[in-house]
Structures are given as C-alpha cells and as structure tokens.
Structure 1
C-alpha cells in the first residue's frame, strides 16, 4: 500500500467534519473549513503525478482515508473520494491539459459527470459543447468539471469527456435528497462553450483505462475494475460512525439480549463490508484485472451496499426512539447510508450487466 501520509491526516479531517456534520446536514453545504481541510489533507492531489506536485498514491490508501473521514461525516467522505478519483480520470487528458489543470498546483478540485448527456460539435482547435448534467457531487467548491457529451461525426457519434474551468459552467441547485445532503450534488449547465482539444479525451479511453498520456499504474485502470469503490468507501466509514452513535445512544441504559444480538450482528456486517472493500482496493493496486476479479469487485460493492443498509437498520432498531432524535448522528448516518447505497454503481443489476457474463468464461 502506498504511504503518502493521507490516512492519519484524514482521521483529523473526519473529526473536524463530525463537529460540523449536523450543521452541514441542515444547510446542505459543507463548512468552508471542512472543504479546506479536505484540500489540505491531499485528497485532490492523491492521484496526480509527482511532476505536477501530486502524490501518486494508491487505491488502498485512499480507501482507508475515505473510510476514516466517513466515520465523522458521510457527505465529506463522498466529496473527498470523488475529487481524488475525478483527478485520476482527468489524467487521460493530453499533456497540455495536465499543465492547465495542475500547472499552478496539484490541489485542484475536479468533479465528474459521467453520463454522456451533452452535445458537442467539432470546431477549429477543439469542440463547442452544450448540455445539462445532474447529480454532480462537490460542484459547489469545484475548480474544474469533467463532463461527458456526444460529438457528431461523419459516422457514429463518439462520446468524449470535456474539462471545463469554473468560469465555463453554471451551477443550478437541485439536490434535495433526504440523505447525503451536504454533497452539493447539483446540476451543471454548459451553453455553447468552446473546449480546446487538449481539454478533451475519448470516453472509450476512460472505460478501458488505457492512458496514452501517463504510464503511471494508477492512471491505467479499467473503469469496471474501480466499480463502486468510489461510492461504497464513504458508506463503510459512515457505518462505523453509526455503530458508535448507536452505542452512545444506548449508553447508561439497560441493554436486553435482543439489542445485544443486534449490535453484535451489525458490527460483524460492517467489519465484513470493510474487508470486501479493502479486497477491491487491493485488486486495483496489484493490477490483477482478470474478468473474474473485476466481476468480484462489482459484486463486492453491491453486496457491501446491501449489507450496510441492513446493518444500519439493525442499529436504528437496537437504539430505539432516541436514535431518531434530531440531535442524534445515528439518524443522519442511517439516511446517508441508505442514500449512498442507492447509487447505480452499487446495484447488482449493474454488476451483472457489465461483468458477470465475461466472468463465467474468463479467468
């Protein structure tokens, strides 16, 4: 596992995020000092090349750090995870694009909108892009947005990613989910913006993981291998936060056998979930991208999400009415985990459609 020093710093970020979590949940915004702590910790630069001031970190280390933050605040962990992995996606840009994103520093906050919902036309030296993308997490404090659109060509349209500086897109608030409230997962609107060629790359390269610009191992990973790791790591951390909150809610009370069994069972589910998530990260760092292992990664993510929803539901039942108090972090963790686990990347249907047919025949 790489050691850039991210994990111990992330534990401090998690503690700070916990102090502001209730207010962030109420206002639907991360506190500025929490956002700055995420930046200073090194999440944004974790996968950036050392030649641009980055850390060239690995997946296992990032996963440990994200889970540490998630124990304090799931929304903060979600944004930390996404900005790290969005920067990794941006490494597919041509070298001039790297220079523009990270030329003045490696702590650029990048966010990503993966669905190809935009439309672009070829122009001299680049493309002209328009579109609207929903659920772009972390966009309130993004420096750049990486959005995907279809480009009209002489033959079949091709999907491309486009990197846009903050001045080139508009943010329209639209995130009203009951959980993960402070992720700022709002809408991004682009209206006929010119994007130079060095700020664009093919979506097919993103999917395959073949990076023609960088030969760093972490920059050459198939998207299917990453699977739901981006989204399930914050949920695992939040589950540990929920476990602590449930124990605190029951502190000083007489705990009956049923409640004890619930706590025992839920804690085992959470530990098992962590093991599966760490197993996924190990596959990415060891670069063992066989069809069966990629299928296992997606299965692990879906199963973990399902297990965490079950576990946090059990914790809520064990804690009783006090766990639903407005001032109790347990009910917030419960809402956050259920919300996070609804992501399309964490569904069995997604895992089966993308990898399991190949897994049955490949080694």
Structure 2
C-alpha cells in the first residue's frame, strides 16, 4: 500500500509506543562511549579553533558511524536507527559538534544509497571501503544542465556540515526540463571537484565546519545522481536494505535532534557539578530537577522516533508524529538549557565552563529548519489531530 508515493509497511495506532531494543547491537554504541571521552577532551579546543581535531574526525570514522547504514556487501553494518541514535546521544554528552558530524556521516551514507549500483561501487566498492565519509547539502540550490552521460552542475550550498573531512559531497540542484518546473536531483562529487568557502560563524556548534560548498560547472556522471523524490518517498531501486527504503519525512528530524539530546545530558552534568556550597539551595535544586524532566522527556520522544523507523511504521500518522516529536524535543531542550544556565548562575557562563558551551551548542543546533514547528511539524500533525483543512 502507498500513501503519497511512500511505502507503508505497517499499521499501528498513533498512540502506540514501541520500546527500543538493544538486541543486535553492532558495536557502534560501545565505540561511541570511547569517542565521547575523546571528544570531551578536545571539545574546548574545538570550540575555540572552530574545527574538530584530526584525532576526533578519525575516531568518528573508526567508530563506524560512516559505515552504519552502508550495505553489508561492501563491509557496512546495515545497522538500526535505535543504535545510531543512542550512539549519537552518547557522543553528544562530550561534544555536540562531534555528535552532529557523526550523525550526518551516518545519514549521508543512507542518502547516498539512492545512487545507482555503479554509484555504490564508486563510493564503497574496491579501493574505497565502507568508511567513506559523505557530507550533504540537503537544501536545493544551484542548477544542473543535461550533458552527454550526465549533467554539468554549478552553484553554492551553505551549511554543509562535516565538509572539512568528507571524501565526497552530495548537493541538490534543479535541472530544467522540457515542460513544467525544474526537476530536483542530488549530485555526488568527490573531494577536489568542489571548493569550500569558510562561512560558518555561528556562536554555537562552532566545530561542525558547516561551510559553503562551491561547484563551478563540474560534470557529474549519471551514476552519481538520483532524483530527490526517491529520497523523499523512500523509494530505492538500487537497494533492498531496510534502512535505505525509508521516507524522509519519518527520519529527517532525528538526524539533528539526537546530538542535541546528548548535549543537554552533558549540560545537566556540567550544571550539577557546579551547584555546591552556597549555590546549592531549594531554588537551584528545583530548577535542575525541572530541567532534567525536560531532558528525559525529549530523550523519550527521540527514542520513540527511532523505534518507529526500525518498526517500519510509515503511516502518515506516525511520520507526522515523528516530525512533532523532533520539534517538540528541540523546544524542551532549549528550555532545559536555559534553566540550567539560570541554576548555575554567573559561574556557569564563564568561558572555561563547559555549561556555557553546551548552552550555545543547543541554542544553535535547535535553530535548524528541521527542528522548527512551523516548517517541520505544524501542518502535517495538525492534519492528524484535526483532519485536513477544508
């Protein structure tokens, strides 16, 4: 059965909650625990220099994030959304920017699974391996012109996180057709086929390297491109791996909210460590408890999203709820971070205090368009609750 072109593989009441499972763990979570400690040690320097150290980026690759959704025939993990989510949260407790890049390394490989078979071979085949890191510019920009055997692509794509250490980038551009509006396609380019302008200057998530990718009339062969509609609907003619056949509406927000949950857990620990002596009073204790409730509730919603994906509950109701969950979790985590800063007082805002870094990271990350009610959740979930507009 299909809904708006998306495959619906299971039906369940929208109020049902699927418990997460740790069965079948691939080893990503234990590796993430080690990465968390390493990333935490480098987090202050990364925040100052605005770049992740080579030691951290190599650890992200070695931990298995890039291979998590790669097909087993290439040495990939074919892992679950639940384990990836728990691993990203764990890394975020030490460094939100590291978790953000780890998350996108995994999800970008999932996006690239929509390439034709020859494209799979180019990214993960002989001589490449499953740990290829792809950075993605999801928002359409630029243009592509049909050429013999492919397209010539030109444009600029902002906010391409992790581009500093990526092996390939994937960008979305419009292709003018004979009739109707231009078609949107993703194009995949190897390092060296594009340039990077260092434009990322946010006060938070400084080390994500979310810079601008510039492509100037570069030829992209047919096997390194796919129709954007395939990713949106979850159609994948090149792969039968379950995680490669998931509608984007169901999964989109999870990519970005899991690192924020981790950052909030880290912020809670940083704040709790600062409330001692005269700072420990009833007001501070109540504030920290309120913040912890918001963080736990957000974690539950995010875990629920991963369970929906692993359970393949791709009904309109579940997909809309996943959008609602991600955006509401973002709202609660922003509130929690503000509460924690208030509880810690002036000391928590000191440049050397990790709480203020977590606070800035959470504020910056939750400004992402995928985590905004108006653009990501309101319309679809309102239709679930209230029915379609007249």
TM over 0.5: yes
The aligned length equals 362
1:68-101: per-residue Cα shift (whole Å, max 9, x none)? Answer: 0000000000000001000000000000000000
State whether structure 2 residue 75 is matched by structure 1 residue 53. Answer: yes
Runs of 4+ off more than 4 Å: none
Partner of 2:87: 65
Q: How does 1:287-298 map to 2 (within 5 A)?
A: 287-298=312-323
Q: Structure 2 unaligned runs (5+)?
A: 1-20
How many Å separate the matches in 1 of 2:194 and 2:252?
Answer: 28
- What secondary structure sits across from 2:139 in the alignment? strand
State whether structure 2 residue 169 is matched by structure 1 residue 145. Answer: yes
Is residue 160–residue 200 contact of structure 1 (8 Å, CA) maintained in 2?
yes
State whether structure 2 residue 33 is matched by structure 1 residue 11. Answer: yes
State the superposition RMSD in angstroms: 1.2
CA 192–254 in structure 1, closer or farther in 2 if over 3 Å, else same: closer
Partner of 1:28: 50
1:358 CA displacement: 4.7
Q: How does 1:316-331 map to 2 (within 5 A)?
A: 316-331=341-356
- With 36-45 and 151-160 compared, the bigger mean Cα shift is at 151-160
How many Å separate the matches in 2 of 1:154 and 1:354?
Answer: 32
1:254 CA displacement: 4.4
Is residue 175–residue 185 contact of structure 2 (8 Å, CA) maintained in 1?
yes
1:352 CA displacement: 3.7
1:44 CA displacement: 0.2
Q: Structure 1 unaligned runs (5+)?
A: none
CA 262–86 in structure 1, closer or farther in 2 if over 3 Å, else same: same
Partner of 1:208: 233
Is residue 295–residue 351 contact of structure 1 (8 Å, CA) maintained in 2?
no
How many Å separate the matches in 1 of 2:47 and 2:350?
Answer: 14
State whether structure 2 residue 142 is matched by structure 1 residue 118. Answer: yes
1:251-283: per-residue Cα shift (whole Å, max 9, x none)? Answer: 344411110100111111101110000000000
Q: How does 1:90-101 map to 2 (within 5 A)?
A: 90-101=112-123
How many Å separate the matches in 2 of 1:251 and 1:210?
Answer: 54
Is residue 324–residue 378 contact of structure 2 (8 Å, CA) maintained in 1?
no
1:355 CA displacement: 2.1
1:38-83: per-residue Cα shift (whole Å, max 9, x none)? Answer: 0000000000000011000010100000000000000000000001
Is residue 269–residue 308 contact of structure 1 (8 Å, CA) maintained in 2?
yes
How many Å separate the matches in 2 of 1:164 and 1:251?
Answer: 52
State whether structure 2 residue 330 is matched by structure 1 residue 305. Answer: yes
How many Å separate the matches in 1 of 2:169 and 2:383?
Answer: 33
Is residue 292–residue 336 contact of structure 2 (8 Å, CA) maintained in 1?
yes
Is residue 180–residue 335 contact of structure 1 (8 Å, CA) maintained in 2?
yes
Greater fraction helix: 1
Q: How does 1:135-174 map to 2 (within 5 A)?
A: 135-156=159-180, 157-174=182-199
- What secondary structure sits across from 1:47 in the alignment? coil
Q: How does 1:192-203 map to 2 (within 5 A)?
A: 192-203=217-228
Is residue 118–residue 129 contact of structure 1 (8 Å, CA) maintained in 2?
yes
State whether structure 2 residue 106 is matched by structure 1 residue 81. Answer: no
CA 197–318 in structure 1, closer or farther in 2 if over 3 Å, else same: same
Q: How does 1:247-266 map to 2 (within 5 A)?
A: 247-266=272-291
How many Å separate the matches in 2 of 1:30 and 1:324?
Answer: 23
Is residue 208–residue 222 contact of structure 1 (8 Å, CA) maintained in 2?
yes
- What secondary structure sits across from 2:287 in the alignment? helix
Is residue 291–residue 358 contact of structure 1 (8 Å, CA) maintained in 2?
no
